[in-house]
Structure 1
Amino acid sequence: MPSSPAMVTVISKCTVKAEPPPKLLANKKCHLTPWDLAMLSPQYIQKGHLFTNLPPTFSIDDIISNLKTSLSSTLHHFYPLAGRLATQHEVDNDGNITGTFVFIDCNNEGAEFVHADAQSISVEDVLAPFSDVPAFVQSFFPYDGATNHDGHCIPLVAVQLTVLADGVFLGCSFNHAVGDGTSFWHFFTTWAEICRSKNVNVFPSRPPIHDRCFLEGAKPPLKLPFTHESQFIERHYPPPLREKMFHFSSEAIAKLKAKANKECGTDKISSFQSLSALMWRCITRARRFPAEQVTSCRVAIQNRARLQPSQSPNYFGNSIYSLRITATAGELLENDFGWAAWVIHEGVVSHTNDAIRGMVKRWVEAPVVYKLSMFDNFSVVMGSSPRFDMYGCDFGWGKAVALRSGSANKSDGKVSSYPGWEGGGSVDLEVCLPAKSMATLEADPEFLAAVSPFVPLHVQTSQVI
């Protein structure tokens, strides 16, 4: 099996601008909210699709041309993505910098489109259903290692079409200071919608809302209390990690949920809270912590529906928090599974309109830019969401056979969630752990009792075609 990023060769790169150019007011600034500014130090979102069923009558050149044209039209509707980040400084009477303002300059400098070749790699090589995610997958994404702050000098979104021996991989790197996972998939599904229609004038079924949400006390422009980017930007270099995909069928998820609720005498615990509890317990056990060690489960949680009045699901920007739920290793493992699920449930329920507004108020009083080093090796970080319609991204080639991510924002204990290929409430988890912890997890009885086998590739493709 190929194992080196050198197997991926870039054929060409080009800039794709919004067309027609968006009609903006003279002031092209898009001010950033506390939720946006807090994301300046982390890395770009990197997600992509593996396709096997390209139309036999289409050439790669035709596919690339259609992708570029439809991307240009999509950028017209998502015009901040065609801009760049910009910074202005507050200066006192003596010429000393006293603060920093970061915003999006909607200047239509454009996105980047990359065409790459990897025809020595097969679809089966990428899937690697019984082994770790291959290292070469990281080369399917542009801007490896870039921080969101780098959006001052590189595009805010870049896509790469990598041609494989028997399929293609379409990867996207998306600046996380511009938007969260909901915004990422809104953009990506809209691009797919326009691409498969082959009509660049089609109006999106879900037009984005670009009016940024500034709550009370957080009026733009918001000042960061820094004089230089080095004070809030951190380059992240994770330790060597194994990265592996695990599948949970809809039946397995239903059993986890039923077990958690039965043990707690309730019906309020959700499927994802149950799954998060399983991963928190099993990864903590694999790490072999002493009983007194404080651990945490961090869950990416949406604000849109929790705010009053609620935000539209079409709101384009960041509207999330990383909710931190704690327990000692002893509490987590000596109590039953339902106890852990209920602790997570209580944390999620506490994330109310008042709590969100209180967090914003505290941020304005003492602005913070998140750094990946804040996620210690005692945490399990549940990212992404199986609720996103990831397999709904049909570019005119049918349904993808798999989803994968790049190296961005990976750390010890990072767990990314995807809908399972077969749907129905199934879930795929991408787990990152050091080799020793991963080997222990793979042998954990509680984990093995819940995890399901993957659907074989030949079954998937026969159903797609």
Structure 2
Amino acid sequence: MAVELIRTTIIKPTPSTSTEPKLVPLTLFDRAAFDLHVASLYAFLPPNPSNDSLKLGLSRILSYFPHLAGRITTDNHLRRPCIHLNDAGVRVIETTVSSTLADMLPLDATSNLSDLLPPIGDGVEFLLQIQLNSYSCGGLVIGATSHHRVADGQSMSNFFTSWANMVRRGTGPHPPPFLDREAIVVPRNLLRVEFNHREVEFRPPVDSLHEATDPTATCKVENLKVFFPSDFIARLKALVPERRCSTFEVLLAHLWRGISKARGLPESQVTKVRVAVNGRARMRPVVPAEFFGNLVLWAHPTATVRELAAEGGGLANAVRIIHEAVERVDDRYFRSFIDFGEVECGDMEATAPATGSVLCPNLEVDSWLRFNFHDIDFGSGGPCSFLPPNLPVEGLMLFVPSTKEKGGVDVFMALAAEHVGLFKENCYSLD
């Protein structure tokens, strides 16, 4: 696959939003998120709009999402991390690819597709980058990187859908994005920090010069995608007749058990899953789904391998433990976290795992099952393939609606290479 660079352009919002540039402080939710650029690839069958149409639509839609055209900086007065809404712009890279899109499909988690993505790493100031990869057949792969501390998955899903609608219809989002971050993090009149946020979401800064070296912190990691058809998910649910469970709960329970087995964990081993919980529908009053920013905290279902592997009841145990842990991350928990931000004075680091971390014997999971991926339609239908390449943490999983079958789920994961073979052998086992 030969990828040829055509041009690089800086796209700014039209009309401009920077008549009065301002600093928007990162909220406590922003600071708790991964401090990295999230990469994604979207493939579209031909015909596709011209690059000029895509760039024009991007320029227009950025006026609704000005944070993405800004820069992360520091408030000189209060030394707070902020987003500078200055319309500095988004980088767009245009390439041509000598092969046909059919030669590339489906996008493969094990392939090196870095040539289809904008560069990321130290020194990249762009909060959003887009790469338009045009194939010889007229197919298109959009590579994107966005900084997680600017927006979470639901926010970026709304942005991509809005961009597609702007290109296809020439109309902005209705309703528009909800941009008032400070309105979401208003503390209560009587502050009540009821949970241990100092250790769950944050921790004191670590002195890297004196931090102990963990010999298990490095291992060869493999990215893979597993497709679970809707009929398999239905069979899993039938194995838990005593509880009505969601697709997410039963599939995570199944994978938690299967990965623990593939890792060869002893029965006495305690294992937990860090589960992202979207606060929009959990807070009271409900936060608009169009809120643009980060509004996620985490549940931590925990069990021994023995509990997960119990004959005849391990799956049901795992479903129950997941459900109860997620339910505990409610409005009260979110409000306590907001109040914590008012009373915590010292510098704190997020407990989100850093790039290259090894989570074994634990896991982390994000669910995008409710995001409107199929509505990202630039004119010829939604994406025919989607891929989050190079998941940066061993034990990280991402649940995405399958582009192959309605009701099916694609699970992208990063596992230690030594565990992948046994996991693949047993990932469809109902035992």
TM-score of the aligned structures, taking structure 1 as reference length: 0.79
CA contact (8 A) 1:283 1:413 kept: no
Q: Which runs of 5+ in 1 are unaligned?
A: 56-61, 91-98, 232-236, 451-465
Shift of 1:277: 0.4
Label 1:107 to 1:228 Cα distance change in 2 as closer, same or farther (>3 A): farther
Tell me the distance in 1 between the aligned counterparts of 2:237 and 2:203: 45
Which 10-residue stretch deviates more, 360-369 or 413-422?
360-369
- What does 1:138-217 correspond to in 2, within 5 Å? 138-145=114-121, 154-166=125-137, 167-197=139-169, 199=170, 202-212=171-181, 213-216=184-187
Q: SS in structure 1 opposite 2:252?
A: helix
Aligned partner of 1:266 among 238, 243, 249: 243
Aligned partner of 1:414 among 392, 396, 402: 396
- Name the counterpart of 1:458: none
Shift of 1:126: 4.0
Label 1:174 to 1:353 Cα distance change in 2 as closer, same or farther (>3 A): same
- Name the counterpart of 1:52: 45
- What does 1:289-438 correspond to in 2, within 5 Å? 289-334=265-310, 335-364=313-342, 365=344, 367-373=348-354, 376-407=359-390, 409-422=391-404, 424-438=406-420
- Matched AA of 2:95: A
Structure 1 residues 65-88: Cα deviation after superposition (integer angstroms, max 9, x where no partner): 001100000101101111111113
Tell me the distance in 2 between the aligned counterparts of 1:27 and 1:11: 32
Shift of 1:136: 2.5
CA contact (8 A) 2:203 2:351 kept: no
- Name the counterpart of 2:22: 28
Tell me the distance in 1 between the aligned counterparts of 2:256 and 2:56: 44
Shift of 1:165: 4.3
User: Number of residue pairs matched?
Assistant: 402
Shift of 1:245: 1.6
- Matched AA of 2:377: D
CA contact (8 A) 2:402 2:408 kept: yes
Q: Which runs of 5+ in 2 are unaligned?
A: 192-201, 210-216
TM-score of the aligned structures, taking structure 2 as reference length: 0.85
Q: SS in structure 2 opposite 1:448?
A: coil
Normalized per residue, the structure richer in helix is: 1
- Matched AA of 2:408: S
- Matched AA of 1:259: L
- Name the counterpart of 2:253: 277
CA contact (8 A) 2:368 2:398 kept: yes
Aligned partner of 2:10 among 12, 15, 18: 15
Tell me the distance in 2 between the aligned counterparts of 1:284 and 1:103: 40
Tell me the distance in 2 between the aligned counterparts of 1:300 and 1:42: 15
- Matched AA of 1:72: S
Q: SS in structure 2 opposite 1:49?
A: strand
- Name the counterpart of 2:221: 241
Label 1:226 to 1:30 Cα distance change in 2 as closer, same or farther (>3 A): farther
- Matched AA of 1:355: Y
Tell me the distance in 2 between the aligned counterparts of 1:372 and 1:10: 34
Does residue 64 of structure 1 match 2:51?
yes
